[in-house]
Amino acid sequence: MANILIIDDEAGILNLMTKLCRQQGHETTPVQTGREGLQVLDRLKPDLMIVDLLIGDMNGLEIIEYSQQNHPDTQVIMVTGHGSIETAVEAMRLGAFDYLTKPFELADLQRTVELGLQQRGKPTPKASDTTPEFDISLEPSKLIGQSPKIEDILEIIGKIANNDSPVLLEGEFGSGKQMVARSIHNQSRRNHAPFKVLQCSALPEELLEMELFGLASSRSETIFSRAMGGTVLLEEIHMLPLRLQSQLESYLEEINARRLTNTLPPHMDVRFIASSAKSLEECVQNGNFREDLFYKISVIPIQVPALRARKDDIMRLVQYFLDRHCERTGLKPYEVDKYAQRLLEQYSWPGNVGELQNAVERACAFAEKNCIRPVDLPPKVAQKLEITDDDEQTTHQLPIGTKLNDYIKKQEKLFIRETLKYNGGSREKTASMLGVSIATLYRKMGLKLERDKMLNS
């Protein structure tokens, strides 16, 4: 257990970070002003301090500088907004261990705290020694699934985890590319070192360049140096500006050359992984991505399937999310009735695993007697149910939740339209075949303009 001081003038953020650190089993002292923070720092001499860059009465850099001069054993993590990264880099120069940009992932905060304490030589508490108060995430801690496509990826990971060759992960947003990258890192010899993620679409070009390559005027740290000995994941690399693509290609070429000659400095010793929601090969053909960089980062390409392409894993993921929910809340296990299960398995999940996670969370909130039914699922998941007509051996989609009259009118129009096509647009033949008058046919088809369009189609 470690002593942690948190300084942030935003009460909501302060309370959140406090809960997360206490969940890890640490003694945590939250304060909202810089002056009070300095007093607590002198009194407690904490193992780690988390400080916001912009505090009402002081600048976070002043607190970091004071801490390094008077309490050099205290590890410091800076928290900053996206627009303040240059200042955050200055914080690293002053001695901060790392920094997080708002809005940050909750899991990233806890991982950074753990790494900071490890660097200081403080052991972090085991999970069994802590009492969960606040769940950081429902994201799986490992790849979950037994579908053939996931089994193939797991086999590839087992073969290449200790290979330093660059990996390119391609797949839709939310398909689990970062989890694949984490699995590679966790199974590699680098798993004791940091795993750092940079979202290429999250920063302006100048700040992105600074984060990748540092400041030309100073020896500022970069994401590569902070991941020293570990793994760097550049997410959505297809969004990287062409100018920075050229610099990255040169940087990776230097890493390769130094590795071959055994002159690789520690701050360049990283495993490089990139991910993209778009086909980089198509981006190259369109002139939006450098061909030389594409070949350099795609030594080991892995296609991460969308959730709809591995539907056998849907209920395994659902069960994982349900188990995590029960662990967090202390509630009895949930069950999913067969109708809700059909809906979950048949939905296309355009948002992939993240959308499924949110659907399970919603269902748990609305479920009665710990049983999830169709009514507990999001409307877009439950609004269509595919059924098989045993007599005709055909499949239909029923829009569950639609009013009966609206559904009948829609089906009538569809049936009349198809019958008109069958009869070559003849209203008389169509009315006779349907057993209705032409006037009734016109009325059921609605407006004249719409009817004429139907007849001429």
Give me the DSSP letters along 128-170. Answer: GGS---S----S-SS----SHHHHHHHHHHHHHTT--S-EEEE
Structure tokens that stand for 2 in this block: 């470690």
For residue 445, the one-letter residue type is M
Q: What are the start and end residues of each CATH 1.10.10 domain in the chain?
A: 402-456
245-294 pLDDT, tens digit per residue, is 999 999 999 998 888 888 888 888 999 999 999 999 999 999 999 999 99
Q: Which CATH architecture has domain 402-456?
A: Orthogonal Bundle (1.10)
pLDDT of residue 7: 94
3-state SS of 189-201 is CCCCCCEEEEECC
Q: Which strand ranges, in their side-by-side order, compose the sheet holding 98-102?
A: 27-31, 3-7, 48-52, 75-81, 98-102
Distance CA 220, CA 91 (A): 10
Residues of the chain with pLDDT below 70 are 82-86, 88-89, 119-142, 215-220, 383-403, 406-407, 446-457
pLDDT value at residue 449? 37
Q: Crossing angle for the helix pair 85-94 and 60-70, nearest 10 degrees?
A: 10
Whether the Cβ atoms of residue 279 and residue 170 lie closer than 8 Å to each other: yes
Specify whether the CB–CB gap between 54 and 88 falls below 8 A: no
Report the relative pairing of strands 195-199 and 75-81 from DSSP bridges: unpaired
Location of each CATH 3.40.50.2300 domain in the chain: 3-129
Residues 6+ apart with CB under 8 A from 29: 3, 4, 5, 6, 40, 44, 46
When computed from its CA atoms, the radius of gyration of the chain, rounded to whole angstroms, is 28
Report the pLDDT value the prediction gives residue 166, as an integer from 0 to 100.
95
Residues 139, 436: Cα–Cα separation, whole Å:
57
d(CA 195, CA 231): 5
Question: Residue 142 has what pLDDT?
Answer: 65
The residues, ordered by sequence, that sit 6+ positions from 410 with a Cβ below 8 Å of its Cβ are none
- The answer for 121, left when phi > 0, alpha when psi is -120 to 50, beta otherwise, is left
Question: What is the H or E stretch that residue 343 is in?
Answer: helix 338-346
* Strands across the sheet containing 300-303: 195-199, 231-235, 271-276, 167-170, 300-303
Question: In the prediction, which pLDDT does 138 show?
Answer: 35
- Please answer whether residues 59 and 38 qualify as being in contact, where contact means their C-beta atoms are separated by less than 8 angstroms: no
Task: Indicate the helix (H) or strand (E) that contains 61.
Answer: helix 60-70
DSSP state of 331: P
Peptide bond into 123 cis (omega under 30): no
Assigned CATH topology for domain 308-386: Helicase, Ruva Protein; domain 3 (1.10.8)
Report d(CA 63, CA 9) in Å as an integer: 14
> What is the Cα–Cα distance from 32 to 393, expressed in whole angstroms?
67
Class of the domain covering 3-129: alpha beta
Q: Residue 30: what pLDDT? A: 94
Nearest by Cα to 9 from 48, 52, 50: 52
Task: Write out the residue limits of the CATH 3.40.50.300 domain(s) in the chain.
Answer: 148-305
What backbone torsions phi and psi does residue 79 show, to the nearest 5 degrees? -115, 125
Distance of alpha carbon 216 from alpha carbon 170, whole angstroms: 32
Instruction: In whole angstroms, give the CA distance from residue 81 to residue 99.
Output: 10
CA dist 305 and 422 (Å) reads 41
Give the C-alpha separation, 5 to 46, whole Å.
6
Enumerate the CATH 1.10.8.60 domain ranges in the chain, comma separated.
Answer: 308-386
> In CATH, what number does 148-305 get?
3.40.50.300
pLDDT of 135 reads: 34
pTM of the complete model: 0.59
